[in-house]
Amino acid sequence: METQTLSVAEAIRTRRTVRHYRTDPVAPELLEELLDLTMQAPSAWNMQDRSVVVVTGEAGRRALHEAAFGQPQPLEAPVVLVFLADVDAWRAGNADIAELAGRSGAWNADFTAMFDTRAEYHALERHGLLRENAVKNAMIAATYAMLAATGLGLASAPMNGWDAELVKQAVGVGGRADLAVAVLVTVGYSDTVPPHPGRRPHERTVFAERYAAAR
């Protein structure tokens, strides 16, 4: 099995967006490790209002290829991760979340009581921000997936050009308004080592205390 282990800093610095992949499959145990690391990602109130659909079959990947306007990644990569944001996850009881957090000592009674009120989610609903909140949480998980993939010797690519309804149909949730497609991440082994495209200097993108218009 082709694996490697990198530090977080090394994974961040060496990760590249890969558009073309070798035909080598991802071993099931390696994929399971990747998914376990992915789902360690944090989410607001630990609501875990994000899911990942793992697409490895040719028919499913072809459907995603078509949903992504013919981009090659879903067809070439052996694995496509579809990150879904559950806009209404907070409406359920979710007693298991609070119970586990309390049992582990992560939450005290006061914090659990605040969780039970869902006050923040009611405020998000009033401001029309429920979808945005859930998508943010899904994107955090997707970032974990890409860094974990790099650390495990895998290549990946985030994909943000697709027809959302076609993606939903491809993973069996067509017509579900309560679910939003956050991003697709293809995973496999790169057929090349893409060069780093570079990043702007911090003077253009990092500011102390207050934002200043970049020049």
Residue in 59, 110, 51 with CA at minimum distance from that of residue 82: 51
pLDDT score of 192? 87
Span 161-188, pLDDT tens digits = 999 999 999 999 999 999 999 999 999 9
Span 1-52, pLDDT tens digits = 445 678 889 989 989 999 999 999 999 999 999 999 999 999 999 999 999 9
Place of tokens 């702007």: 200
Using pLDDT thresholds of 50, 70 and 90, give the confidence band for residue 214.
low
Span 72-93, pLDDT tens digits = 999 999 999 999 999 999 999 9
pLDDT score of 1? 42
Amino acid at residue number 2: E
Helix and strand numbers (H, E) in the chain are: 10, 4
Alpha helices, DSSP H, located in the chain: 8-14, 28-38, 58-67, 73-76, 95-104, 109-117, 119-126, 130-151, 164-170, 202-205
Q: Is the model's pLDDT at 215 over the cut of 70?
A: no
pLDDT score of 122? 98
pLDDT score of 94? 96
Span 106-165, pLDDT tens digits = 999 999 999 999 999 999 999 999 999 999 999 999 999 999 999 999 999 999 999 999
